[in-house]
Structure 1
């Protein structure tokens, strides 16, 4: 059985601009990228068979993967394989050694970073297998925060008949032996990234799966998250707490703060870490917009397939900002996650 999903990431900008690249062509190439990286010591060669723990509402089954939780404060330059796509509007970089993360995408018309761009690799003990890094787009396949998000994946570079070019990444995951592959495509003279998601159940067994694109964006007091106008309510992970959207009028997750007519669409209005899922999503987009930079990012997909949209943020308060401005980065500041799938 195979499932396909095509999604599109667009740049938002408020003025026309054209930047020349010869014949509007798309370039694709493989190179290296050197990034300061905090060292993780080698994991135990014997995978942990079982640990009676919950991970985001699921059993934390680690086997047959290694547990990567032996962190250090040793920072040193490390050179990674880097895959690049570029046209007259966009330049993007994918790191196959770090789970196929879309590491950055730059709008060449205004130098806006479409996604949260890290200048350091600083893992922390957040993932299913321990090591997890923030920034860019994390491809969450089969299980939320994919188990192999900090591990190498396969890749292939393709040139297409219409002049577009595609970076393919993917793997066969060892737990259920299912396969996923994701293609990122740029077209000549078009200012969007097309993402083609394919998931395969290669086995004779029925297996559950999910898919989320964990899209990190730079956030500040001018940053606003935009659910479709038809979204009137938001909910928490297990649908055990609801609020009006965008202006909250009720307690949310036991927090009376949200009774005070809070405009929850603004990053600055959440003092602590929080999640809001769009309830009963009918329209196929989710966006974030920086009013100060007059630029932003929008995700567009078939709403009958990509049925979810979510805001997650650490928040500007002391407890949350410790994580996204100190634990997970050195100097790249806070971020929000616009998750969709």
Structure 2
């Protein structure tokens, strides 16, 4: 019989650390697709629809480092006679592992360590397994957050249900993991519920990491693909060859790129990644999940560096295949008010003799094996008969209190509370992040906090009507809510009011950020000199204002533990170059440092290295920086591998 149990997984872990006390105001950490251009004649793409100014009301998760220690993860293990699935309950219900017990083969890329890095909407992300991305373009805000989980007893045997309340879109959602007796596939039943009275832009992509073995190939029932790379253009190309390159073989890709397969209409949606022998993993779904994608890091030093950065160097590389609601990850779909969307995904092994033939033969090889293992009607029947409202039984794990708080907010305003017996938000889940907002919902006021202590959480959207009157704190939170809605002029007025009522670092920092005001930043720093993130932002604001000596002095006075952070070191190097202290900048590079939260696609390290090299060469020659100086600098001072994260070039 299938079995569901809770276990502890031991592995080296870099702890997530505390969230940032500085909220992610618009303009901070923008995603890489925001400025995409479209070059697809004859097809309409509305890339503006669904964009959010920031990830508010979430906080940044940037408190991690690069030091890993022995640690433990709490996981659920779902197992039948053929498959064993491991789900990380504290990490967005990531499908950590899927083992084919008949062959002993791991079907996913299983990371041997947990090392956060700055690739998600809230910063912290880690590679491996299957990630469930809901919210907006990028890795979900809940990828490094706990989920509610419970056991549901069904005719399939025990089912693991996980659920949460997603705050960007105010959408409750659930995933039901099932492994019936004898099944060769893990079934994941997904439900999204729009409980609001307006349409909501929805984004979903299931992100599947698989081993990047020599000769591996990715196959989908497609006649073309929408290509998007770091040049920022979306274009339509044929399949499987573009510019003489068969991009379905990831180990031939010179640079990082996204390939969104254009699935043929009326065909069953699926995607497979197979090794040189034709065996590997296949993912298929019911019809709603129409998008399929291949992402490659690229066979270049920067791409290899990123893969090593996310795991233990030498432990193997991976590639990503994905399944989503839309054609591409640059798009959102409108979900009507009050509607639920459901689908079923299936994950299992594939053995496709002929997978390395021509494109038509490779597709047919996978189709044939998939038809034998999982006929299309079986998946459709499963969806039609699945009881998403089955009441969960034994609680296995606890997520956040935001879903329970939303029910309080609705009741306090006499709004209907959705009846979702399958997605219960227990009142005992409300914790410190929600307590003040619970008070606001029922009393109309917030407890006045100490301005020296950073706010522990923020709200937006449906909370706006409750943010009236009050003290400096209420004005500050009104500013956050206005910023989350994209009304930056109104946000500035609220932040000014907050700082005028009672000077506080949080409103002053917000004004500094929105206005590029170095003096506002300095005033904030005087009130909160122990916040590392504020030191970096203040230094960067001073540099942008042409006040490099002040930036250098501020950073030089930081305590050792704060000064040792790689993000601080980058700003120190920038200040040293700007003040002509080239030897100091070179010494910081030579000492060696890492930037734990280096952003995917960020060019700060290589740009700084070559700027320093060019200045050094120019000073030695007594000339300005010219094209000849730049060429000599690159020849004389090649970029060390430690600092090479370049995704292109």
Decide: shared fold, TM above 0.5: yes
Q: 1:236 Cα shift?
A: 2.3
Given the alignment of the two structures, is residue 337 of structure 1 paired with residue 330 of structure 2, yes or no?
A: no
1:140 is aligned to: 133
**TM-score (norm. length: structure 2):** 0.45
Q: 1:53 Cα shift?
A: 5.0
Q: Secondary structure at the match of 1:320?
A: helix
2:286 to 302, 311, 320: 302
2: CA distance, partners of 1:188 / 1:263: 39
Map 1:67-146 → 2, pairs under 5 A: 67-144=60-137, 145-146=139-140
In structure 2, relative to structure 1, the CA distance for the partners of 1:60 and 1:40 (3 Å cut) is farther
Q: 1:160 Cα shift?
A: 1.1
Map 1:165-244 → 2, pairs under 5 A: 165-228=158-221, 231-237=222-228, 240-244=234-238
Q: Secondary structure at the match of 1:205?
A: coil
2: CA distance, partners of 1:112 / 1:199: 32
Q: 1:52 Cα shift?
A: 5.0
Q: Secondary structure at the match of 1:74?
A: coil
Q: CA RMSD in A?
A: 1.8
1: CA distance, partners of 2:120 / 2:159: 28
Q: 1:318 Cα shift?
A: 1.5
Given the alignment of the two structures, is residue 40 of structure 1 paired with residue 12 of structure 2, yes or no?
A: no
Given the alignment of the two structures, is residue 266 of structure 1 paired with residue 259 of structure 2, yes or no?
A: no
1:316 to 294, 299, 305: 299
5+ residue gaps, structure 1: 1-24, 249-258
1:12 is aligned to: none
2: CA distance, partners of 1:102 / 1:290: 21
1: CA distance, partners of 2:141 / 2:258: 21
CA deviation map 1:59-103 (0-9, x unaligned) = 451322121123312211222211001111111100110111000
Q: 1:242 Cα shift?
A: 2.2
CA deviation map 1:192-227 (0-9, x unaligned) = 011111001122222110211101100122211011
1:149 to 140, 143, 167: 143
Q: Secondary structure at the match of 2:251?
A: helix
1: CA distance, partners of 2:184 / 2:263: 30
2: CA distance, partners of 1:62 / 1:104: 29
- The structure with more strand, counted as a fraction of residues: 1
1: CA distance, partners of 2:90 / 2:24: 23
1:247 to 241, 247, 258: 241
Is the CA contact 1:281–1:308 (under 8 Å) kept in the aligned structure 2? no
1: CA distance, partners of 2:96 / 2:306: 19
Is the CA contact 2:52–2:136 (under 8 Å) kept in the aligned structure 1? no
Deviates more, 1:141-150 or 1:102-111: 141-150
Q: 1:321 Cα shift?
A: 1.4
1:29 is aligned to: 5
Is the CA contact 1:115–1:135 (under 8 Å) kept in the aligned structure 2? yes
Q: Which of structures 1 and 2 has the bigger CA Rg?
A: 2
5+ residue gaps, structure 2: 35-50, 325-649
Is the CA contact 1:49–1:64 (under 8 Å) kept in the aligned structure 2? no
2: CA distance, partners of 1:336 / 1:53: 24
2: CA distance, partners of 1:199 / 1:275: 26
2: CA distance, partners of 1:216 / 1:189: 25
In structure 2, relative to structure 1, the CA distance for the partners of 1:290 and 1:333 (3 Å cut) is same
In structure 2, relative to structure 1, the CA distance for the partners of 1:42 and 1:234 (3 Å cut) is same
1: CA distance, partners of 2:194 / 2:173: 9
Q: Secondary structure at the match of 1:72?
A: coil
Given the alignment of the two structures, is residue 285 of structure 1 paired with residue 261 of structure 2, yes or no?
A: no
2: CA distance, partners of 1:176 / 1:310: 24
- The structure with more helix, counted as a fraction of residues: 2
Q: Secondary structure at the match of 1:80?
A: strand
Q: Secondary structure at the match of 2:65?
A: strand
CA deviation map 1:107-158 (0-9, x unaligned) = 1111211111111001101111100011000001132311111111111122
Is the CA contact 2:223–2:264 (under 8 Å) kept in the aligned structure 1? no
1: CA distance, partners of 2:294 / 2:124: 22
2: CA distance, partners of 1:53 / 1:123: 16
Q: Secondary structure at the match of 2:59?
A: coil
Q: How many residue pairs end up in the alignment?
A: 300
Q: Secondary structure at the match of 1:157?
A: strand
Q: 1:46 Cα shift?
A: 5.1
Is the CA contact 1:52–1:59 (under 8 Å) kept in the aligned structure 2? no
1:255 is aligned to: none
Q: 1:280 Cα shift?
A: 4.3
1: CA distance, partners of 2:177 / 2:87: 9
2: CA distance, partners of 1:150 / 1:63: 16
